[in-house]
């Protein structure tokens, strides 16, 4: 049905053709909705679904969003585009029964330990079962319980709670471009697994945790450290200090009924002090410290014209992604530690002497919006003499849980202040939690450093926004700075590959693994609403405006830190405490896939790297040629061929090892020639 609608504004007349269809007897207009599910929700009907996510491709697996379309029968609303004149019913006896059967079948093979499930209060399976009025399950389980996957320091994977919706698989592939998990097997044996059936922590996972953020059940959750923190707080020998990341303050209130984006800084500090933490610091302080170090590092590189573009290094998910897929660009990453690690390093270096306690009795806890921070804190680079800079990382969700365990009424807590001097910050440190915030903070510093003049308006709106890749050019006294802001690692891959090919000339690239930046981290309260993330983003920019200082160089406590402890900016002591290095990282734990049967004996061993970089450079073709050569010459009894991960020569791939000889940039012909030479000479491996 088409209706002509006319609106008159002044002397201007606009004619719009509005299409309509009928939903449950009501006429509903549509314009731009991708499918019936979006339109039905827009009409105020909460149609159940597991597998639909507005940021992901349409999958249509769960079959819960079924509707009855006159003349067409039962259809999936998520995969049906709206058409003028359709008559749609969302509730019929048949549809209700189909939904109930679907949920009962899922529950039959589901670990129903709901009261102890970490996703209990946000579980969509529980929510849908309650709304459908399911009181008993009529089907018997056929699956045997599987073991928990505890191989990751950031996440817990419980295969017994997976409903096969595919949200985690699609997010990891479509948004992050990693593909650390995927579907395996068929029929009732179908499962979501990491590569080769390994643990999540043994594969290519970059610990961003977005799989857990979109998981509708407790199949994927952040790995908790609450018990360890309680033990530290209850240990009379330990002095426990805590830092709070900027993004936490605009999200934790959601767990206690406060509006999204509302800053609850004072209540957070009050809760932490009542929990027993000896000192409460602000990670925004070390974000200011990061700006000073990173901006100076950038300006030096720009002046010399070397190691550009400079990539930011605040996001541990991005850092691990770069280590795995772009090891040749690691020299381009800023050597600065993240704000979390900087504050941990400074505290461990200064507080023991100030407080008169042994260093090993000082416990640093971080409250972060991010699951990758758990992995970052346990990197060996961030420990001195076996003592980690940060001992434990709690997500926003975990802090909310501790507050609930303690029985505090969060909304009624009287606000308190951070402890000084490590609780002082500027607005530049606060906006670090937003995508584009690091770049803007660096620009606020660089503008004054380059021009020598005070910056009037500190806002650089060109680096703000929601696009996955944002490009901006800023000119400072004739010096042109070209920047890019990236959110989502698939977007990062796209941009980095352009930089590699010389198609994009840039000076500074900010990368955040999570859409929206830290405000959208997987440790934040669970939400599927885009508007919630927008409100969190707005909350941090408003917090910046509400502060008196907006530039990191205005933080006088940072200046005093250099004078008292760090010495010169970028100097020897500052570099020791505030900078780090990165490594070419294996993407999967050692594993060989052997082709051929029979005992190994005295065979020549040919191993072809099947890691991502070598694969993209043609290692699969090399492996195929070697196997063909072995078959053609009937060498199965003399040669063992395998695919292996990884020889740590990603920039020189494809890499092949023939017994002890390692070949870089190897072709199939080259591998076969080396294999034949080895067979001919039978020389012992060097």
384 & 431 share domain: yes
Task: Give the tens place of pLDDT for each residue, 480-522.
Answer: 999 999 999 999 999 999 999 999 999 999 999 999 999 999 9
162 & 306 share domain: no
Q: What is the CATH number of the domain that holds 119?
A: 3.30.70.20
Residue 584 lies in a domain: no
E strand intervals along 110-164: 155-157
619 & 532 share domain: no
63 & 115 share domain: no
265 & 123 share domain: no
Residue 486 lies in a domain: yes
Distances, alpha carbon 48 to alpha carbons 26, 68, 99, 376, 642, in Å: 20, 15, 9, 37, 47
Among 171, 197, 222, identify where a domain stops. 222
130 & 24 share domain: no
Residue 686 lies in a domain: no
506 & 566 share domain: yes
Amino acid 569: pLDDT: 93
Task: Give the tens place of pLDDT for each residue, 166-176.
Answer: 999 999 999 99
Segments of the chain scoring below 70 in pLDDT: 1-17, 586-601, 682-686
> For tokens 């939904």, what's the residue?
99
Residue 71 lies in a domain: yes
Q: What is the CATH number of the domain that holds 318?
A: 3.40.50.1780
Residue 445 lies in a domain: yes
Residues identified as active-site: 294, 297, 314, 334, 373, 376, 381, 518
Count of beta carbons in the 10 Å neighbourhood of residue 600: 8
278 & 345 share domain: yes
Residue 585 lies in a domain: no
What is the C-alpha separation between 555 and 395, in angstroms, rounded? 27
572 & 597 share domain: no
Query: Residues 243, 281: contact at Cβ < 8 Å?
Result: yes
Query: Residues 328, 322: contact at Cβ < 8 Å?
Result: no
Q: Which domain holds residue 643?
A: 591-681
Distances, alpha carbon 314 to alpha carbons 283, 320, 335, 501, 561, in Å: 12, 11, 10, 25, 21
Number of domains in the chain: 4
Q: Which residues contact 347 (CB under 8 A, 6 or more apart)?
A: 241, 281, 362, 364, 389, 422
Is this model's pTM higher than 0.85 or not? no
Among 578, 607, 634, identify where a domain stops. 578
Question: In Å, how far from its chain's centre is CA 160?
Answer: 24
Amino acid 3: pLDDT: 38
460 & 328 share domain: yes
Question: In Å, how far from its chain's centre is CA 43?
Answer: 33
560 & 602 share domain: no
Amino acid 273: pLDDT: 97
């Amino acid at each position: 049905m088409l209706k002509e609608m006319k609106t008159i504004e002044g002397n201007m007349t606009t004619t719009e053709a509005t299409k309509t269809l009928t939903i449950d007897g009501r006429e509903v207009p549509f314009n731009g909705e991708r499918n019936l599910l979006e339109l039905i929700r827009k009409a105020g009907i909460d149609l159940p679904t597991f597998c639909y996510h507005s940021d992901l491709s349409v999958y249509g697996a769960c079959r819960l969003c079924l509707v009855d379309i006159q003349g067409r029968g039962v259809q999936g609303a998520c995969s049906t585009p709206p058409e003028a004149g359709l008559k749609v019913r969302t509730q019929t006896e048949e549809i209700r029964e189909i939904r109930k059967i679907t949920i009962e079948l899922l529950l039959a093979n589901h670990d129903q330990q709901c009261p102890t499930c970490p996703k209990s209060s946000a579980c969509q399976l529980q929510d849908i079962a309650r709304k459908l009025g399911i009181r008993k399950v009529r089907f018997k389980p056929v699956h045997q319980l599987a073991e928990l996957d505890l191989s990751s320091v950031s996440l817990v994977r419980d295969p017994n709670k997976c409903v096969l919706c595919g949200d985690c698989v699609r997010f990891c592939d479509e948004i992050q471009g990693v593909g650390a998990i995927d579907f395996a097997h068929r029929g009732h044996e179908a499962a979501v697994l990491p590569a080769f059936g390994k643990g999540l922590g043994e594969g290519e996972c970059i610990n961003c945790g977005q799989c857990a953020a979109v998981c509708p059940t407790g199949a994927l959750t952040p790995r908790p450290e609450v018990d360890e923190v309680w033990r530290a707080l209850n240990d009379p020998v330990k002095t426990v200090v805590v830092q709070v990341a900027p993004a936490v303050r605009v999200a934790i209130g959601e767990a206690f009924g406060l509006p999204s984006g509302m800053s609850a800084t004072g209540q957070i500090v009050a809760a932490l002090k009542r929990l027993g933490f000896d000192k409460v610091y602000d990670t925004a302080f070390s974000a200011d410290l990061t700006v000073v170090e990173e901006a100076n590092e950038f300006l030096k590189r720009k002046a010399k014209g070397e190691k550009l573009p400079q990539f930011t290094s605040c996001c541990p998910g991005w850092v691990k992604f770069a280590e795995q897929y772009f090891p040749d660009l690691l020299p381009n990453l800023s050597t600065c530690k993240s704000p979390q690690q900087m504050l941990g390093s400074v505290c461990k270096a200064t507080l023991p002497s100030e407080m008169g306690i042994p260093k090993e009795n000082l416990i640093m806890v971080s409250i972060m919006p991010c699951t990758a921070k758990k992995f970052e804190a346990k990197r060996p680079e961030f420990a001195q003499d076996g003592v980690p800079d940060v001992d434990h990382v709690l997500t926003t969700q975990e802090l909310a849980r501790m507050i609930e365990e303690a029985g505090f009424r969060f909304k009624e807590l009287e606000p308190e202040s951070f402890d000084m001097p490590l609780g002082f910050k500027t607005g530049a440190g606060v906006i670090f939690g937003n995508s584009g915030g690091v770049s803007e903070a660096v620009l606020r510093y660089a503008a004054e450093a380059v021009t020598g003049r005070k910056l009037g308006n500190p806002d650089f709106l060109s680096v703000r926004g929601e696009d996955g890749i944002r490009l901006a050019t800023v000119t400072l006294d004739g010096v042109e700075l070209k920047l890019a802001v990236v959110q989502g690692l698939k977007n990062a891959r796209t941009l980095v590959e352009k930089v590699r090919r010389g198609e994009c000339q840039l000076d500074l690239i900010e990368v955040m693994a999570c859409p929206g930046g830290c405000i959208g981290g997987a440790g934040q309260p669970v939400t599927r609403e885009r508007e919630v993330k927008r409100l969190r983003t707005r909350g941090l920019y408003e917090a910046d405006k509400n502060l008196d200082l907006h530039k990191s160089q205005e933080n006088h406590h940072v200046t005093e830190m250099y004078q008292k402890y760090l010495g010169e900016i970028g100097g020897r002591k500052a570099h020791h405490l505030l900078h780090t290095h990165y490594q070419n990282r294996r993407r999967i734990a050692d594993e060989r896939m052997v082709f051929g049967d029979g005992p190994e004996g005295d065979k020549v061993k040919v191993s072809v790297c099947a890691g991502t970089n070598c694969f993209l450079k043609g290692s699969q073709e090399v492996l195929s040629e070697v196997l063909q050569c072995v078959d053609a010459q009937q060498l199965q009894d003399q040669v063992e061929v395998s695919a292996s991960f990884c020889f740590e020569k990603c920039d020189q791939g494809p890499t092949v090892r023939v017994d002890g000889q390692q070949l870089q940039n190897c072709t199939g012909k080259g591998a076969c020639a080396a294999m034949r030479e080895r067979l001919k000479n039978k020389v012992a491996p060097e």
